Amino acid sequence: MTANNNVPKVKLLIDGKFVDSKTDQWTDVINPATQEVLAKVPMATPEEMDAAVDAAKRAFKTWRRTPIGARARIFLRYQHLIREHMSELAAILTAEQGKTLPDAEGDVFRGLEVVEHAANIGSLQLGEIANNVAGGVDTYTLQQPLGVCAGITPFNFPAMIPLWMFPMAIATGNTFVLKPSEQDPMVTMRLVELAVEAGIPAGVLNVVHGGKDVVNAICDHEDIKAVSFVGSTPVGTHVYRRATQTGKRAQCMMGAKNHAIVMPDANKEQTLNAIAGSAFGAAGQRCMALSVVVLVGESAEWIPDLVERAKTLKVSAGHEKGTDVGPLISRAALNRVNNFIEQGATEGANLELDGRSPKVEGYDKGNFVGPTIFSGVKTDMSIYREEIFGPVLCIMNADSMDEAIEIINANPNGNGTAVFTRSGAAARHFQEEIDVGQVGINVPIPVPVPLFSFTGSRGSKLGDLGPYGKQVIQFYTQTKTVTARWFDEDEIGAGVNTTISLR
């Protein structure tokens, strides 16, 4: 579509300058609670994509040699600016994405934690040394940057996920091309503006917008060395295959179907609150959302209590005080979730709570679905097999923990899982036997802090290194091993056929 000049246009960032795209293809950024058009986002042209990569390639020549302390100080300033603008960032995020204001602040804050981690790059990017591995010989390693890296981010965490990506890539000495979600790029661009204000030099961080064509261009570009992706499984699989076929490193965090086991001895009130918050918060639009609960034994009697707890949650626009569940990102997402609810009922699951078409005063055009609960769910039902990405909770039953573990391990995804119990022995058995990358014990959304790495597994992840923590240092650097020997002036070196003595 052609851009409407009465609506703000989202800019590109190329070589340190925020510029208007020359494209004739634009997409609306829509407030999901009101359908108001907030801005127009460009589908960048191939020339703009090449310009962004060229700027990053040129900047890499000097940025890679920037002292590590100078890089760290930029991120110290950056985290301070983010804290100063927290309320502003949350308000932008809520308007374009729909999250409640507290959830939006949490989105920014979890990204801020990674920025703080990037400021510690001096101790994270250390190599290793072995003194005297042979007579007068030392061996040591250097963790050196790759070059131009790129990131493709999703709509559901437009602050957190970009902050997972470019700060760590840039702190390690790389330059970066970022492609935010075209559905809600405004808060990402405000974070980028603050990053430039913090002192990131021209060309070190660049931003392009677009859809499939830009994604493919990132995967194909010969000067991009590594690609980080967070989003749906179909797109992530496509990105991983296309990027690795052209010799790039790739890490793709993808879809999920996260389960929790509830044991009969669990603390009832704490467990019900945890389930309600993790299943219905952010309108269920989290890759770590709790979407399946397996009730073991007598805990099956808690279903009516869970339904009543879910009924107390307020559905409204994210900026309204007291809102628990905001709108879905788009009309397409709304229709998709409603269709899944219809399918679940048709396939024989018990619709304990139907959240379709809630009455939200003052927001009759919003993309709202209230908390929805199915019981009696079976593994062959579409609501179990597919990632719904909405406030829909599936309840299953098992006679024992081992039976529940078998259900979870048979699912192809492995992003996150949890158990609710007061038994240390049961919790330890669970953590040992479960085949899922991130495990919570009485913690419904077990996303680790940046001191550790995000470790989703199996069908939820392609690539063997996570997007932050210690693993991301390995992802964004290559190891150079140096073996060195220095001779005294009168010392004679080894002969042609002599190797270094290991004695």
Asked whether 227 and 219 are in contact (CB, 8 A), the reply is yes
- Side chain identity, residue 27: T
Asked whether 453 and 472 are in contact (CB, 8 A), the reply is yes
CA 84 – CA 204 distance, rounded (Å): 23
Unique residue bearing structure tokens 């802090």 = 449
Angle at 148 between CA 40 and CA 214, to 5 degrees: 35
Kind plus residue range of the DSSP H or E element containing 157:
none
Asked whether 454 and 466 are in contact (CB, 8 A), the reply is yes
**Could you confirm whether 287 is annotated as catalytic?**
yes
Angle at 259 between CA 256 and CA 261, to 5 degrees: 170
Asked whether 141 and 481 are in contact (CB, 8 A), the reply is yes
Tell me whether residue 297 is exposed, middle or buried, using C-beta atoms within 10 angstroms of its C-beta: 0 to 12, 13 to 18, 19 or more: middle
CA 306 – CA 309 distance, rounded (Å): 5
Local structure of residue 260 (DSSP, 8 states): E
Within its chain, how far is the Cα of 454 from the centroid?
Answer: 9
366: number of CA atoms within 13 Å, CB side? 27
Strands 37-42 and 26-30: antiparallel
Asked whether 384 and 394 are in contact (CB, 8 A), the reply is yes
Asked whether 150 and 218 are in contact (CB, 8 A), the reply is yes
253: number of CA atoms within 13 Å, CB side? 27
Within its chain, how far is the Cα of 169 from the centroid?
Answer: 15
Local structure of residue 485 (DSSP, 8 states): E
CA 204 – CA 60 distance, rounded (Å): 7
Among 149, 219, 287, 394, the active-site one is: 287
Asked whether 40 and 182 are in contact (CB, 8 A), the reply is no
CA 439 – CA 231 distance, rounded (Å): 21
Q: Which of 30, 158, 98 is nearest to 320 (CA)?
A: 98
* Phi-psi domain of 14 (left: phi exceeds 0; alpha: psi -120 through 50; beta: other): beta
- Side chain identity, residue 187: V
CA 455 – CA 254 distance, rounded (Å): 12
Please identify every residue annotated as catalytic. Answer: 287
